Structure 1
Amino acid sequence: MRNDNKKSVIVGIFVLIGIIIMVTGILTLGAQQKVFVKSYKLKAVFDDVEGLQTGNNIWFSGVKIGTVSKIRFYGDSQVEIEMNVDANTQDFIRKDSKATISSDGLIGNKIIVIYGGTTQAPAIEDGDRLEAIMPLDTDSMMETLQENNENLVSITNDLKVLTGKIAKGEGIVGAVLTDSLLAENFRQMMANLEQTAVNSNQLTADLKEFSSSLEKEGTLMYELANDTSIFASLKSSASKLEKTTDEASLAASNINQATGKLNSTDNALGMLLNDEEFAAYIKESLANAEVTTELLNENLEALKYAWIMRKAHKRKEKAEAKEAEAAAQE
């Protein structure tokens, strides 16, 4: 009899422990599923729920606020999600808030994330439908990542080829980095640019000094800039200079016209300068005149020894002797 009572106590203890475990599990699951918490319902329609299941969690601002209660097809190919949300959050979620599907960690369960909303919009109400925002497709992200990796490999290969050419001294950059003469020329060019900058600064300072001298009384530039009489004198001088220039231009035109006539054969001087036949005729005439002069000189020399001319020549010598003697006596 004692053994039977002992067995009954043991069985009762195990039954009690089982009941306690079952109640604890029900309470735990109920707390997780917000079964025993006052809640309200929200809805959202997605084109693709991406594996979302009933019982998955609802998050708002990093806090779990509810669970997915129902998933059903909606319209032609969409899916409507019904959510049980803790009533304590009703004052914080606005009608213009949005819902999207995310993951609980990198490879965790799917969850619904409620975000956004402005204070200008009223608070959410039981049965309202939130605007659903489709998340980025993981497959598309992987395809984009793969394409980026391929582009990165291509860029790396191009960079490898480029750095190889630079190391070999190919191209402008490679020549600059490897050719010492070119590098020296580049340094010289930079030195020249620096000197040019210094000269520019000096020129700027000189211009500044010059402009300040325009405002300093007693200087020529100040007088030129402010004295109207000097301006009038300069204007008159410029007018006279312009007139002189016009006259010089007219004289130059006349000279050009006379020079043009010299190049023509319709006048005496132009014929002398340009007519070859006339020049040859003049040259021949001068030659003949020279021959005639020589012959005339010879005839005069011969005539001096003729008997008529000898007598006249003697008379001339006597007269010159008398004149010399009279001059000596004086």
Structure 2
Amino acid sequence: MKTTGAAVKLLIFVVATSLATGVLAMTISNMRFTETRGYSAIFSDVAGLLEQDDVRVAGVRVGQVEKIELYQGRQAKVTFSVNKEGVFDAGLPSSTQVNVRYRNLMGQRYLALTEGPGTANDYLRPGGTIPLAQTKPALDLTVLFNGFRPLFRVLEPNDVNKLAFQIVQTLQGEAGTVNSLLAHVASLTNTLADRDKVIGQVIDNLNNVLGTIDQRHTEVNRLITDLRGFVGGVADDRQAIFDSVAAINQLTGTTAGLLKDARPALKNDIAGLKRLSDTLNENGADVDRALRTTPKRMEGLINISSYGSWFNMYICGMDARVRLPGGPVYQTPAIVNENARCK
């Protein structure tokens, strides 16, 4: 029972997914299941129009472009189809005007069918061709927007897009009135006018700066003259400067090599100094005692060496002990000088 229930759920999911995928595929490919009639139209320019683009009447999609080909070497022939049911039950009027219009600012286009002057009961037979006189190519947006470039430069991107799309719609006859376009342009102009105070403040501040500079034009001239002299002096001594830079570079390289060569020995010396400082620190008491007794001993040494480069001493007595390696200690008899000098 569990297996059967899971299989039924899986089947329902597969069917629903397949239906949704099919609807999406038909929407993307513009598939139609109604009966259609085919017609052709001659244009002087259809740049940007693609096969399967929409064919619309009053903004409602009623067909699609089937084929685009070159006609008589300098013109374009567009083959399109329209739904047989609905607006064109009796066929396409022979006075129909066909215009290439912009669908959006991304450059997508479509064919717009409008009613033109002529006999209302005169219809084109299926496969008929609408002549060049009854067609109109798309607007040249490059030329159009070049005229609005100064305004676009000072607007926000969203305002530019909105204004540009309204311009296209108005010139294609799709906007409500030209007054709405003018009203929008006026609102944007007012926005720029609202910034007039800020622009005026900037100009006033600039005038103040220029006035201050003008009041000190003597100092400014002197500064410019001194700066020019400095730059001229640097230019005259550029060879010496270049030579100095080269010498500094060479000195840097030599110093780097010297440090590289001396680094091992310097490292050993630093390590030896560390050991010496540790030894002195451990025997601080002895070092301190030696430093305290050294002045008196040096004084005595100076006295006995004052006669020349030798020590002048008079021995009054001597007592010696000799220790032989691995043997006893021998002590010599004490020698005492009975001279009056020693008493």
TM range (shorter): 0.3 to 0.5
Rg (Cα) greater in structure: 1
| TM-score, normalised relative to structure 2 | 0.37
Q: Which structure is higher in helix share?
A: 1
- TM-score, length-normalised on structure 1? 0.38
